[in-house]
Amino acid sequence: MFRDDLTDFGLYEVLAEVKYGLDIEDDDRVKTLTLEVVREMLPRGAPVDFGNGPLAGTDYPEKTPDEVVARIERAWDALGRLPDMGEVCYIAYPKYEQGRPGG
């Protein structure tokens, strides 16, 4: 299922923006803020995929932002470190939200 109204990226890209963009050295703080950013994106129409890429159209049991963030946090905790490229999940963000205040 191709969707040209979405821009996709990995969780590692969000955490890199948090860690390096905000110059945060504490990995626990990076995790907390990254999860907050993801939680804010979800109600704006950002689908998350846990392995097949965001545009694969896979249906997961996690539906609410709290459920999705809890799954991301469990996978992150299982790694025991900051996720690298391709690990944990991919996120697709609606292009119409990009550049908008709060978007």
Residue 11 CB: number of other CB atoms within 10 A? Answer: 26
pLDDT tens by residue, 87-102 = 999 988 877 666 554 5
Whose tokens are 């905000």? That residue is 22
Sheet holding 90-94, edge to edge: 6-10, 90-94, 48-49
| pLDDT > 70? residue 54 | no
Chain centroid to CA 30: how far?
13
Nearest to 74 by CA among 29, 22, 19, 35: 35
Could you tell me the pTM of the whole model?
0.82
In sequence order, the β-bridge partners of residue 7 are: 93
pLDDT tens by residue, 21-43 = 999 999 999 999 999 999 998 88
pLDDT at 98 (0 to 100): 60
| pLDDT > 80? residue 57 | no
